[in-house]
């Protein structure tokens, strides 16, 4: 049995008929950008997040840049961010003309460590960018308290956590703004790049709405230096129809996570935290192992797909030479040992059985 890490063809197969209907409605509408489909998705996704506003943008990176730009921080102000995140979280801070301050995560759940946030705060700190890595929400109760105490903005990178629950809400509503990505591999994925900003702040939402469209509200009148970062009508209509199935997608992921967590028993593997099986969105199911190359070879022979999220930490990337000499042992240990197992709703029971059996025989 050959099991790919993720087959977008399989995950999208169930929607093919609906996509065709949406494409045909899109063609006959003649409205390709900034129309009713986008408005409908924005309203529905805001409702899903139990938040007031959603502004669709071109991708998750732009969502972060637009949020950070909208605060109009002074240049070179500092934003605290976890050192183990996808490169885009840090890139967004740099692109907004700000300075990323990288802090170590917890080794237990791979998320930003609150004590390390506090010790990284300086007179120049203006915001915390918390990342819900792998589909698990950060400790927002304590992070929001800290941000309030130091008058810092709280921005959330939720590119990997659509549908994760925190205190009964599917979004972090204590944050100033949350950035989502709908890249095709995400729990809610478009058929192209796409993203959104979710916020309860009306002014912030309208500023981002303007800035995703060159800084223009009235045709050919430019009030600020925005981006061209619009979410297309076609992708918005695909996302709108898929949103109806997001909870089912996540339920299936939780069921698979529960099986992996209870049935995989192998001392060579460190499993992800199991305390919030029914709240985490399980975008990725990440195990750790000391000898990753051996595990990779073993899975290859068994024809089970895997991926590494991520092999090189941001501070060791060529694009960030100013951080190359930082000493971040927890982040480096995570990057050295992680491996992601197949995790998506198109996995069959037999495939999950086979993955569990194979890992127990490792």
- The residues annotated with a catalytic role in the active site are 186
Closest distance between ligand PLP and the C-beta of residue 301, in Å?
29
Rounded to 10 degrees, the C-alpha dihedral 235/238/243/245 comes to: -150
Residue 181 sits in the site that holds ligand PLP (CB under 6 A):
yes
Report residue 215 as tokens: 């800084």
Residue 183 sits in the site that holds ligand PLP (CB under 6 A):
yes
CA distance 346 to 8: 9
Task: Point out which residues pair with 112 in neighbouring strands.
Answer: 105
Among 88, 90, 126, 236, binds ligand PLP (CB under 6 A): 88
Residue 313 sits in the site that holds ligand PLP (CB under 6 A):
no
> Judged by CB, which is closer to ligand PLP: 81, or 352?
81
Among 41, 45, 53, 86, binds ligand PLP (CB under 6 A): 86
Among 82, 195, 314, 342, binds ligand PLP (CB under 6 A): 195
Question: Taking the alpha carbons of 49, 51, 57, 63 in that order, is the dihedral positive or negative?
Answer: negative
> Judged by CB, which is closer to ligand PLP: 341, or 355?
341
Q: Give, as ranges, the residues between 242 and 271 that touch ligand PLP (CB under 6 A).
A: none
Q: How far apart are the first and last CA of the chain?
A: 17
Half-sphere exposure of 10 (CA within 13 A, CB side): 12
CA distance 298 to 249: 29
Stretch that binds ligand PLP, among 57-65, 142-150, 214-222, 349-357 (CB under 6 A): 57-65
Nearest to 143 by CA among 168, 170, 167: 167
Closest residue to ligand PLP using C-beta atoms: 60
Q: Is the Cβ–Cβ distance between 214 and 222 less than 8 Å?
A: yes
Q: Give, as ranges, the residues between 116 and 175 that touch ligand PLP (CB under 6 A).
A: 131, 157, 159-160
Nearest to 229 by CA among 155, 179, 175: 179
Closest distance between ligand PLP and the C-beta of residue 270, in Å?
21
Residues that bind ligand PLP in the complex, under the rule CB under 6 A: 59-61, 85-86, 88-89, 131, 157, 159-160, 181, 183, 193, 195
């Amino acid at each position: 049995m050959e099991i790919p890490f993720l087959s977008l063809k399989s995950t999208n197969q169930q929607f093919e008929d609906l996509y065709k209907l949406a494409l045909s409605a899109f063609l006959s509408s003649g409205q390709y950008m900034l129309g009713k489909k986008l408005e409908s998705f924005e309203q529905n996704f805001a409702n899903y997040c139990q938040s007031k506003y959603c502004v669709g943008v071109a991708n998750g990176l732009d969502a972060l840049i637009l949020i950070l730009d909208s605060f109009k921080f002074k240049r070179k102000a500092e934003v605290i961010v976890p050192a183990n995140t996808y490169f885009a979280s840090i890139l967004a801070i740099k692109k907004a003309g700000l300075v990323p301050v990288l802090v170590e995560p917890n080794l237990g759940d791979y998320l930003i460590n609150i004590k390390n946030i506090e010790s990284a705060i300086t007179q120049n700190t203006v915001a915390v960018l918390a990342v819900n890595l792998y589909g698990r929400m950060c400790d927002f109760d304590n992070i929001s308290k800290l941000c309030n105490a130091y008058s810092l903005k709280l921005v959330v990178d939720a590119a990997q956590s659509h549908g994760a629950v925190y205190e009964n809400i599917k979004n972090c509503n204590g944050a100033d703004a949350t950035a989502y990505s709908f890249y095709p591999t995400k729990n809610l994925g478009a058929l192209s790049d796409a993203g959104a900003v979710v916020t309860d702040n009306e002014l912030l939402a309208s500023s981002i709405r303007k800035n995703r469209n060159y800084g223009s509200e009235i045709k050919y009148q430019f009030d600020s230096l925005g981006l061209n970062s619009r979410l297309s009508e076609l992708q918005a209509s695909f996302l709108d129809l898929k949103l109806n199935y997001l909870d089912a997608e996540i339920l299936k992921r939780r069921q698979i996570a529960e099986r992996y967590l209870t049935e995989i028993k192998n001392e060579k593997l460190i499993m992800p935290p199991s305390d919030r099986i029914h709240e985490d969105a399980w975008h990725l199911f990440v195990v750790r192992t000391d000898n990753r190359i051996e595990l990779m070879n073993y899975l290859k022979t068994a024809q089970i797909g895997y991926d590494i999220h991520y092999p090189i930490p941001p501070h060791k990337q060529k694009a960030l030479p100013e951080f190359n000499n930082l000493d971040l042992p927890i982040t480096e240990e995570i990057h050295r040992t992680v491996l992601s197992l197949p995790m998506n709703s198109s996995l069959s029971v037999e495939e999950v059985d086979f993955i569990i059996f194979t890992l127990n025989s490792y």
